[in-house]
Chains A and B, each alone.
Chain A
Amino acid sequence: MSEHFDAIVVGAGPAGNTAAYTMAKAGLKVLQIERGEYSGSKNVQGAILYSDALERVIPDFREDAPLERHIIEQRVWVLDDESYLGGTYRSADFSKPPHNRYTIIRSQFDRWFSQKVRDAGALVVCETTVLDLHMDGRQVVGVRTDRENGSVYADVVILADGVNSLLARKAGFHEELKPKDVGLAVKEIHFLPESTIEERFNVKGTEGVVIEMAGKITQGMVGTGFLYTNKESVTIGVGCLLSDFKKSGIAPYALLEQMKEHPAIKPLLAGGEMKEYTAHLIPEGGYNAIPAVYGDGWLIVGDAGMFVNAVHREGSNLAMTTGRIAAETVIDLKARDKPMTARNLAAYRAALDESFVMKDLKKYKDVPDIMDRNRQFFTAYPNLASQAAHTLLTVDGVDKKTKERAIRKTFTRARTTFGLFADAFKLWRAFE
């Protein structure tokens, strides 16, 4: 086959769909190739949709996108074995349209997005795997798929092939993922009737709740847990660094099973019926682990480029934003009749640096490393915080001053005064 396109997008997740949609909408001749049976058939996420990133591409997405619930309440829990200490932010303001974020079911949402890509004029081909990139010297000129007559050519290839990005690795654009740079998350979707969710989480209509969790549930590994409310189901999951799973020998499913038994979590799932079990790798290496994201005739977007903000648990919005900026770079070069060389495509990286994507990732660039080397944040502190709260809240005739002294003592005994200051300093440095 000798057909030539303006751009080929490999992958149909949020990054690939946004890139393909944006380019097709601008009138470019776009081919998108997806390995799964349809866009969304293999895609896994928590999943929270942040409106802003999508709104910039499809402003009226709320009209027909399959959305589950809009989030009006965010809880953050630090869990000890039997207890948790937490904070909640809930605002009626979040219920005023347009809503800021939603829970979604990816298999449905991605399918909707994929239809938009087709409607915009892109040629979308599924059940087709890209095996190799066609090179002309250093320039990527097309792709070879696993189908007969499977080669197809384009001015530029956008790699949106997800966390493993086998294609980019095969082409030598980046190295193999390091276990310390990826999280492994497992999640389950439990069916619960709408009325039960409304009662249990104190919501009505399409309102929803998000609970982010950290602490003992990860058994000393660097990671977090989460619970999201969907229309007729609750999603629960936990993710930790792959290197930690390897070191501890804990099976991910066992971790989730144990988490579900926590006295604060169990009642939220009671009576539910498990509908789905999925697992996914999450690129969490942060700023320092971002590979080269452009070259002669190619760009990398989304998970494939490590574009995940693990601290704020944002990923799909970074995927959509990188997809959009990559597309805009290509559209601009095309309009000015410039070749898709590394020199010209460098504009993509420059635009990323100016966006929240790189600014946020840069801000937290030391977090992965600090968390990796300071396990007390996942073990000792949840325990100490719970103890402190427990001591203060137990009315037993002991005066408050003595209680405070006792609490102080548990902290200095566990971490020493210097250790406490050092930890505070590390956190300040990491999140400043």
Chain B
Amino acid sequence: MHILVCIKQVPDSAQIRVHPVTNTIMRQGVPAIVNPYDLYALEEALRLKDRYRGRITALCMGPPQAEAALRKALAFGADEAILLTDRAFAGADTLATSYALSAAIRQVHQSLPVDLVFAGKQTIDGDTAQVGPGIATRLDMQLLTYVSKIVSLDLSAREIVVHRRSEGGVQVLKTRLPALITVLEGINDMRFASLTDVFRAERHKLTTWSKDDAHIEDVTKIGLKGSPTAVSKVFAPTSTNRRAEIIETQSGQPVDLAATLVAKIVSRHPDVALAINPSPVPDERPL
């Protein structure tokens, strides 16, 4: 069995700041990490390898420094790592990215047939969740997104059964291989690599592929040229100055709290009172 895992190096969104003057994202000094969702995908692939044996190839498209992400994948137990890097890929949107990645996967497939492709449900920088499905479509693979559990894998029948999270509940789906699966967060807990694996990863000679190595000839399909998406504006949401208010009464009784709350709402929004009670009755209390 040969599983290919797509990983992406992303800026740690928890540490991203917006430049107060230019309003652009300040990438300098922001640490690059492996897209957290991809780690769930990698771990799920590793678990299948533990059970059924086989090979795992990690594939990453990015600048040369994305090598760090692949070394991490190797440390966790990936057997091979390919960095798809070329200036021609710069500025790629999800359409161009899935084109380049599927071309590379086709090349990998020629030397060792790929049974499964794993990806995270989305990246934390783009949040589109389009690249995985894009690859499946281009490679004409079965596509299972938002997978929360892999129930069984039958290599002889070439079938896989998974749980897929949908809005209404969980779908139990069976499909044939080769398939592309995007996994949900929390599907597993990432392992802690052994020191042996960490050493192996650090010493591993990475495979680096240019667009030519991936046999990409049509340059209008990759990079900025192959990207119909245009970013017209990036801006930081303006912070609202609304403040929470704690309502207290002397008695602390729920009924008093509710009355105080209603009084407060009515005093600030008289129209609410009208909506509740369209024709106010005259005060019935005796004078």
Do A147 and B192 have beta carbons less than 8 Å apart?
yes
Do A125 and B31 have beta carbons less than 8 Å apart?
no
8 A Cβ contacts from B169-227 to A:
192-196, 198-199, 202-203
What is the CB-to-nearest-CB distance from A244 to chain B, in angstroms, rounded to a whole number? 33
Decide yes or no: A191 and B20 within 8 Å by CB, A105-B29, A148-B194, A150-B194 being known contacts. Answer: yes
8 A Cβ contacts from A100-157 to B:
105, 107-108, 123-125, 128, 145-152
The reply on A261 being an interface residue by CB < 8 A is no
Cα of A108 to Cα of B203 in the assembled complex, Å: 24
Partner of A275, one of B17, B196, B198, B202: B17
The reply on B276 being an interface residue by CB < 8 A is no
The reply on B21 being an interface residue by CB < 8 A is yes
Q: Which residues of A contact B20 (CB under 8 A)?
A: 191, 193, 273
Do B31 and A41 have beta carbons less than 8 Å apart?
yes
The reply on A251 being an interface residue by CB < 8 A is no
Decide yes or no: A128 and B195 within 8 Å by CB, A38-B31, A191-B17, A193-B21 being known contacts. Answer: yes
Q: Which residues of B contact A149 (CB under 8 A)?
A: 194-196
Cα of A37 to Cα of B34 in the assembled complex, Å: 12
8 A Cβ contacts from A207-233 to B:
none
Do A123 and B203 have beta carbons less than 8 Å apart?
yes
The reply on A92 being an interface residue by CB < 8 A is no
The reply on A3 being an interface residue by CB < 8 A is yes
The reply on A395 being an interface residue by CB < 8 A is no
Q: Which residues of B contact A152 (CB under 8 A)?
A: 195
Q: Which residues of B contact A145 (CB under 8 A)?
A: 195
Do A124 and B29 have beta carbons less than 8 Å apart?
no
- Per-residue CB contact flags for chain B residues 31-63 toward chain A (1 = under 8 Å, else 0) read 100000000000000000000000000000000
Cα of A105 to Cα of B195 in the assembled complex, Å: 30
What is the CB-to-nearest-CB distance from B24 to chain A, in angstroms, rounded to a whole number? 13
| Beta-carbon nearest neighbor of A111 in chain B | B31
| Beta-carbon nearest neighbor of A150 in chain B | B195
Decide yes or no: A107 and B29 within 8 Å by CB, A125-B195, A145-B195, A148-B195 being known contacts. Answer: yes
Decide yes or no: A147 and B203 within 8 Å by CB, A191-B17, A275-B17 being known contacts. Answer: no
Do B195 and A124 have beta carbons less than 8 Å apart?
no
The reply on A398 being an interface residue by CB < 8 A is no
Q: Which residues of A contact B193 (CB under 8 A)?
A: 147-148
Do B195 and A123 have beta carbons less than 8 Å apart?
no
Cα of A149 to Cα of B192 in the assembled complex, Å: 11
Cα of A124 to Cα of B68 in the assembled complex, Å: 12
Do B194 and A37 have beta carbons less than 8 Å apart?
no
Cα of A282 to Cα of B272 in the assembled complex, Å: 60
Cα of A147 to Cα of B99 in the assembled complex, Å: 39
Cα of A125 to Cα of B71 in the assembled complex, Å: 11
The reply on A1 being an interface residue by CB < 8 A is yes
Cα of A193 to Cα of B192 in the assembled complex, Å: 42
Cα of A123 to Cα of B198 in the assembled complex, Å: 10
What is the CB-to-nearest-CB distance from A69 to chain B, in angstroms, rounded to a whole number? 15
Partner of A1, one of B17, B31, B192, B195: B195
Decide yes or no: A125 and B202 within 8 Å by CB, A38-B31, A41-B31, A108-B29 being known contacts. Answer: yes
Do A148 and B192 have beta carbons less than 8 Å apart?
yes
Do B202 and A124 have beta carbons less than 8 Å apart?
yes
Cα of A37 to Cα of B203 in the assembled complex, Å: 18
Cα of A152 to Cα of B196 in the assembled complex, Å: 10
| Beta-carbon nearest neighbor of B191 in chain A | A148
Cα of A123 to Cα of B193 in the assembled complex, Å: 16
Cα of A148 to Cα of B21 in the assembled complex, Å: 48
Q: Which residues of A contact B194 (CB under 8 A)?
A: 147-150
Q: Which residues of A contact B202 (CB under 8 A)?
A: 123-125
| Beta-carbon nearest neighbor of B30 in chain A | A107
What is the CB-to-nearest-CB distance from B145 to chain A, in angstroms, rounded to a whole number? 30
Cα of A250 to Cα of B21 in the assembled complex, Å: 36
Q: Which residues of A contact B195 (CB under 8 A)?
A: 1, 125, 128, 145, 147-152
Partner of A37, one of B17, B21, B31, B199: B31
Q: Which residues of B contact A124 (CB under 8 A)?
A: 202
Cα of A105 to Cα of B31 in the assembled complex, Å: 13
Cα of A151 to Cα of B195 in the assembled complex, Å: 8
Q: Which residues of A contact B17 (CB under 8 A)?
A: 191, 275
| Beta-carbon nearest neighbor of B19 in chain A | A191
Cα of A145 to Cα of B195 in the assembled complex, Å: 8
What is the CB-to-nearest-CB distance from A115 to chain B, in angstroms, rounded to a whole number? 10
Do B192 and A125 have beta carbons less than 8 Å apart?
no
Q: Which residues of B contact A38 (CB under 8 A)?
A: 31
Q: Which residues of B contact A147 (CB under 8 A)?
A: 192-195, 198
Cα of A128 to Cα of B193 in the assembled complex, Å: 10
Q: Which residues of A contact B31 (CB under 8 A)?
A: 37-38, 41, 107
Q: Using A41-B31, A108-B29, A125-B195 as known contacts, list a sample of 19 further A-B pairs with CB atoms less than 8 Å apart, ordered by residue number in A.
A: A1-B199, A3-B199, A37-B31, A38-B31, A105-B29, A123-B199, A123-B202, A123-B203, A125-B198, A128-B195, A145-B195, A146-B192, A147-B193, A149-B195, A149-B196, A152-B195, A193-B20, A193-B21, A275-B17
B residues contacting A by CB (< 8 A) are 17, 20-21, 29, 31, 192-196, 198-199, 202-203
Nearest 5 pairs of A and B residues by beta carbon: A148-B194, A147-B195, A149-B194, A150-B195, A149-B196
- Show 9 A/B contacts (Cβ-Cβ < 8 Å), sorted by A: A41-B31, A105-B29, A108-B29, A125-B198, A125-B199, A128-B198, A146-B192, A147-B195, A193-B20
A residues contacting B by CB (< 8 A) are 1, 3, 37-38, 41, 105, 107-108, 123-125, 128, 145-152, 191, 193, 273, 275
